Amino acid sequence: MSQVDELVSTSNPFPGLRPFKIEESHLFFGREGQSDEVLLKLSKNRFVGVIGPSGAGKSSFIYCGVMPILYGGFLTDASPNWEVIVTRPGAGPIDNLAEALLKNNDEYLSGDVEEKKIKRTIFSTLLRSSSLGLVEAIEQTRKDADVIWYLSISLKSYSDLKIIRMQTR
């Protein structure tokens, strides 16, 4: 193999236009202060919203700047048992969010097609019902858990919506 081929086959440490993945957190740097700020707010308020335009680095920031710290158990007054829910708003953002919230719900997963459709409709209606619809929907899916939420919203409709919740018991 020539030296040029060897250089070309070396992996690029930068993901380009896609967000960094959590396993690439060792390559992500420069937002340590912001990570600390989000974690402090999350520990005090049990909710943090990260909002910005598409391409600003919200997903990379959460995947590499916040989640490794949460999973590592470094948030001292909280458990490392975090669940991440990712959904793409697309053409039906509320319906897609309802589906994403239900994906890990055993009762939903064990239901037949008709039961799942009814449950999705109920959750979509709940999400649309009030400004607390998201909180109520999460509580319905996780009735037995204390939760902490993180919400990331992009200003473009095709970007990810991420909800991270933590079971504290």
Phi (first) and psi of residue 44, to 5 degrees: -85, -40
Q: How far apart are the first and last CA of the chain?
A: 55
Of 123, 135, 132, the closest CA to residue 99 belongs to: 123
Report the relative pairing of strands 82-87 and 47-52 from DSSP bridges.
unpaired
Phi, psi of 138 (to 5 degrees): -65, -40
Instruction: Using a cut of 0.85, tell me whether the model's pTM lies above it.
Output: no
pLDDT in tens, the chain (169 residues): 556 555 555 666 667 777 878 888 888 877 878 888 888 887 777 667 777 787 888 888 888 888 888 777 776 666 666 677 777 777 898 999 899 889 888 889 999 999 999 999 999 999 999 888 888 888 887 765 545 455 555 444 444 455 554 444 4
Token pair for 23: 């396993």
